[in-house]
A and B are shown apart, each in its own frame.
Chain A
Amino acid sequence: MALLEVHNVHAYYGNIHALKGISLTVQEGEIVSLIGGNGAGKTTTLRAISGLLPPRAGYITLQGEDLRRYKAHQLVSKGVAMVPEGRGVFARLTVEENLEMGAYHRSDRTGIAADMKRVYQLFPRLEERRRQLAGTMSGGEQQMLAMGRALMSRPSLLLLDEPSMGLAPVLVEAIFQTIKEINKAGTTILLVEQNAHMALQTAHRGYVLQTGEIVLEDSAHNLQQNPVVQKAYLGID
């Protein structure tokens, strides 16, 4: 049984049909990447999975359990954590307070402290800036904070929306390295990226979205070799 299964999901923004029957699966321990152009429905798929935009048709299961029964805020304790696009750190809270918010639904103090330590090991930069307001940090540091905050909820599935957006190339490299590390430590990751090159290098498998539909599905390696993908998303003629 797959960790996450998305079955023929349709989602709308008002009258706009944004997802036209998306189906995908994520196995335990995988990194799966969704790639595609602007408006393809990548972010919408993540919003549907995390409950922020409930689907009108189709269903989503996590470890076999139907997620339609849960509201967005309840999904956190089910093990789904999301790092939103544009990072969405609480700008007026300090780094440490942001991380504490990530563990909002938990009450085991020792576990939280241990996870906090783990996040600081993963991102030493955050420990240096513990008392700083999140809004005053650089884009890369905010991305680290958003990821660290998501990890604080001990997710079984981590949803990452455009982690490379607006970052310097050297930082992009580092962020994807960290994504691999997080995955190796046992967290399953569903990744949405415009930077198809980096995404496919990091992921095990990938889906290509176009105007709300999945047009291609393959292992990351095969997708990298696929001439259509190369032409449309990797800039190789």
Chain B
Amino acid sequence: MAQFDVRETMRLGLLAGVVAVTVSMVGMVESFNQRDVITRYLTLGQLLLFTAPVVAGFLTVKRAGDRSWRALPNGALAGLFAALPIFALLLLTLAVPTIRQQLVNVSPTLIRILTFDNGQLVGGLLMMAAMGGLGLLGAVVYVVPDRISDPISLAVGWTLLVGLLSEVLLNVLRPLLSREVVRFLFGTRGIQWQTAVIIFLILAIAVFLWRNGGRTYYQRIPRQVLHWLALALAILIVWIPRDFSWLPPSINPLWIKIGLTLIPLILEALLFFSTRSATQPALVKSITDNQLGRARLASRYLIVLLILPAILGVYLTEVVDNIGLFILMGLGLNIVVGFAGLLDLGYVAFFAIGAYVTGILTSTGPLGVAGLSFWVALPIAVAASTVSGLILGIPVLRMRGDYLAIVTLGFGEIIRVLAVSDLLKPYIGGAQGVLQIPKPVLFGFTILQPQHFYYIILAGVFLALFIAGRLRDARLGRQWMAMREDEDVAEAMGIHLVNTKLLAFGIGAAFSGLAGSIFAARLGSIFPHSFALLISINVLSLIIVGGMGSLPGVVVGALVLVGLPELLREFAEYRLLLYGALLIAMMVRRPEGLWPSPVRRRELHAEDDLAMQEPA
């Protein structure tokens, strides 16, 4: 039997308590309390507060490694210890009623949350009991067999996530469901408890069945059936009634639906002929089965992506547009940092240059110089960013690592300071920015709504993904990676370091300029404060979180770091705190990122790799 170390229990419990008190005292609990996860029963603030004792209880028994029921009291003990700092805080508010002058965030509201509305003493004891119980719960999760605890904890996690994102769901589902159903499922904020129970049960049962034999049944279903099911689902999504009011009046939504349905069906037909018919059409012959299979899969995602703005509505499309711009920037910075290994902290500068060039060339206001159309200004803006990328590249050719980071950081600030400066005010407007940037016009139709910009951004992202992917596998990509690994050796292999570095800076900057150009047209006006250092840090963080050097990683990172804070507005104030916490957690638990490139994963999990090879 494993020995329990009371001091370890105390350490973990108090640590959890300190975390709980800290998030309370910085005001997170109070402001997150505005958002219900489950209407009237659980707020995000409470969730934040109560996660700490559960984790403490879980870790305490896990460290001791005892899976018998005797371990449970230790979990409860850890929970009680976790409550102590909170209890101390409550006593402090009793002893020093004026404490709020020092600790601004210790408000009456916070105390009400912490005491369940019961006054400091009674409430404090209640809180202790609750936390003890939650610690016990954490221990139970570890003690019961994985077979049972895995489905339950997974289902709880997803249910809470659905509750958090209830607004998004409501937005998407509202046009489809009757008012009564919506009212049954969703509260004013968050999901109703019935919904939570339903989701929890479905998920728990599904995961339980999957883990206990369901997987083998699933694998026995013929691939063809799954294929057709996926296709049917994608087409169903296209045909569900939607709001198409943003479409140009000359286009009938019906055509779009028919068109989107035909794309995958034509592919299916091609595939059918290529395998069945003895006399293959010439077109099909030139395409290998593998390529066709991939196109088949891609067509399903593509039609859903193309119909997405109609599903999401104005607000969510706006969020997606933002994510898209960050994906564009992320793909560019990924070339510089991920592929070529050059740490660039001033990346926002190229975004700014792209935006300002577009603004000045197209603006109809006093600052506009040319009155060009967006489509003419766009390539000029991209070219200007590329050139400035090269110009930044030249002086920093000999710098590596930290020094490079410092210089690029300075470059980003120089551009921002120039933008607000009086020196350039007659040309780019100083703090007042560039106004009256006209919306792009395409075939006589003005691109105005977020839904319209969605397609421009989508096209940009696809183009950038394609270019980045091809470059990575090309000679240039190899050059970048060799340089990242060891500059001297790369040079000794015959790689021209100057060209290679400048190309990385230039191409990386071009992507950012493209994003900046679209950004300017979308907003209609640009101001220097849109180009703060924070953007560079954001883009770099999303690459790190997604996985350095990985293209799908950029997309995942942007969804997590840009999408989530937009959807959970309460997060905005604590964005940097959460970024910091997330980055630390990533470095400790998953340094390769959420969706790493295969090489990165192999590098950081080399032992697993070797272990797999050795027995052979």
Chain A interface (Cβ within 8 Å of chain B)?
50, 52, 71-77, 81-82, 84, 88-93, 97, 100-102, 104-105, 132-133, 135-136, 149, 153
Contact = CB atoms under 8 A, between A and B. Distances in A.
Given A73-B497, A101-B478, A136-B610, A93 B485 contact: yes
A90 B492 contact: no
B535 interface: no
B537 interface: no
Interface residues of B, number: 25
The 8 closest A-B pairs by CB, nearest first: A76-B494, A105-B494, A88-B489, A90-B485, A136-B606, A72-B491, A82-B492, A73-B496
21 contacts: A50-B492, A52-B492, A73-B494, A84-B488, A88-B489, A90-B485, A90-B486, A92-B484, A92-B485, A92-B599, A92-B600, A97-B478, A101-B490, A102-B493, A104-B482, A104-B493, A132-B613, A136-B606, A136-B609, A136-B610, A153-B494
A77 B492 CA distance: 10
Contacts of A132: 609, 613
Contacts of B478: 97, 100-101, 104
Interface string B53-74: 0000000000000000000000
Interface in B443-498: 478-479, 481-482, 484-486, 488-497
B481 A73 contact: no
B489 A84 contact: yes
A88 B481 contact: no
A89 B492 CA distance: 12
Nearest to B478: A101
Contacts of A133: 599, 602-603, 606, 609
A27 B606 CA distance: 44
A216 to B, nearest CB: 29
B494 to A, nearest CB: 3
Interface in B259-301: none
B375 to A, nearest CB: 39
Contacts of A72: 491-492
A91 B485 contact: yes
Given A92-B599, A92-B603, A104-B478, A73 B491 contact: yes
A82 B486 CA distance: 14
A75 B484 CA distance: 21
A97 B486 CA distance: 14
A52 B481 CA distance: 20
Contacts of B610: 136
A7 B490 CA distance: 27
B363 to A, nearest CB: 45
Contacts of A149: 493
Interface in B569-616: 599-600, 602-603, 606, 609-610, 613
A135 B489 CA distance: 15
Given A88-B488, A92-B600, A135-B603, 14 more contacts: A52-B491, A72-B492, A81-B492, A88-B486, A88-B492, A90-B486, A92-B485, A92-B599, A93-B481, A101-B490, A102-B493, A104-B495, A105-B494, A133-B606
Contacts of A153: 493-494
B494 A104 contact: yes
A92 B481 contact: yes
B424 to A, nearest CB: 39
A104 B428 CA distance: 46
A73 B485 contact: no
Nearest to A87: B489
Contacts of B609: 132-133, 136
A76 B481 contact: no
Nearest to B500: A73
A92 B491 CA distance: 17
B482 A101 contact: yes
B284 to A, nearest CB: 29
A52 B491 CA distance: 8
Interface string B411-453: 0000000000000000000000000000000000000000000
A159 to B, nearest CB: 9
Interface string B337-361: 0000000000000000000000000
A93 B482 contact: yes
A101 B606 CA distance: 22
Nearest to B341: A92
A158 B603 CA distance: 30
Contacts of B489: 84, 88-90
Contacts of B486: 88, 90
A149 B493 CA distance: 9
Residue from A88, A97, A102, A149 whose CB has the most chain B CB atoms within 10 Å: A88
Interface string B168-207: 0000000000000000000000000000000000000000
Contacts of A50: 492
Nearest to B479: A104
A148 B490 CA distance: 15
Contacts of A52: 488, 491-492
Nearest to B492: A82
Nearest to B484: A92
Nearest to B609: A136
B491 A90 contact: no
Contacts of B600: 92
Contacts of A77: 494
A76 B613 CA distance: 35
Contacts of A105: 493-494
